[in-house]
Structure 1
């Protein structure tokens, strides 16, 4: 952030600096939720597959073709019920972080589009050539594209 601040000090006003720093903060927040959501999703898929491989030979195979007998045996086993409830808890966490990720992405994208739309006002004629240097720096350091509004 220091190098971006140094580059911005010469060219833009205080409000623009705050907006750029706020954009970086929103990008970091979005990346955090995105990585957390991916980790929980991966763990949830692995957990479900493991639970399937544990419960299939213990419950389904011994009970044969009867679904009602399989469900009864599943509900009669306390540790399997606990494991299924833990899976439901993981699914809730997955949904929670998905919604947080979507909200953070929307906030980040809206602020990024606002900066792109106001770039003609922010960088006047004398600083217009240095705008590209700042945009390149933002792209290289923080992976924030300020050239186009598309994601």
Structure 2
């Protein structure tokens, strides 16, 4: 038996023999890419909210600790801003979160593109992957992929 098939998910491994091993491997690859995309999308969302909260708390901090007590003088606001050592920490943390957020966004876009390209390739090659009687049964594979992995192989549109 082919060594790469050991890593197949149970649902893909248990497909009937009218789905060949190469097709099963393609399905497994699209599942793997979908999981990676989902993982980074979730991580991006978490860091998006952390970044928003960080900037919000920093704004509240600036308003309550610097602006409100020294609002009578612009030079006092500036002096209080420079003398408060917490500003450096807030700025570093907030902008570090924002920087990591942009890195994550690029990764999410990259993994989404890879996942979508492989999914579209399976859709385009469907007539070659399922021939003869298998063509009539391909909907079983498509339904399983939609139900188990939330991967739509019926249409190329997301």
- Which TM-score tier does this pair reach, normalised by the shorter chain? over 0.9
- Give matches, 1:15-94, under 5 Å: 15-64=22-71, 67=74, 69-94=76-101
List runs of 5+ in structure 2 lacking aligned partners: 1-8
How far apart in 2 are the matches of 1:101 and 1:80?
31
**Number of the residue aligned with 2:105:** 98
Which structure has greater helix proportion?
A: 1
Aligned-pair CA distance for 1:130? 1.3
- CA distance in 2 between counterparts of 1:132 and 1:43 reads 42
Q: TM-score, normalised by structure 2?
A: 0.88
Moved segments of 4+, more than 3 Å: 65-69
Structure 1 residue 5 and structure 2 residue 13: aligned? yes
2:6 maps to: none
Measured after TM superposition, the shift of residue 126 of structure 1 is 1.3
The question of whether the paired residues in 2 share the 8 Å contact of 1:37 and 1:97 is answered with yes
* Aligned length, in residue pairs: 150
Counterparts of 1:24 and 1:47, CA distance in 2: 34
Equivalents in 1 of 2:50, 2:43: separation in Å?
11
Map 1:101-112 onto structure 2 (within 5 A). 101-112=108-119
Q: Output the TM-score relative to the length of structure 1.
A: 0.92
Could you tell me which runs of 5 or more consecutive residues in structure 1 were left unpaired when the two chains were aligned.
none
Alpha-carbon distance in 2 for matches of 1:120, 1:101 = 30
Q: CA RMSD of the aligned region, Å? A: 1.5
| 8 Å Cα contact 1:16/1:122 also seen in 2 | yes
State the distance in 2 between where 1:99 and 1:67 align. Answer: 40
- In 2: Cα distance, 1:112 partner to 1:136 partner: 14
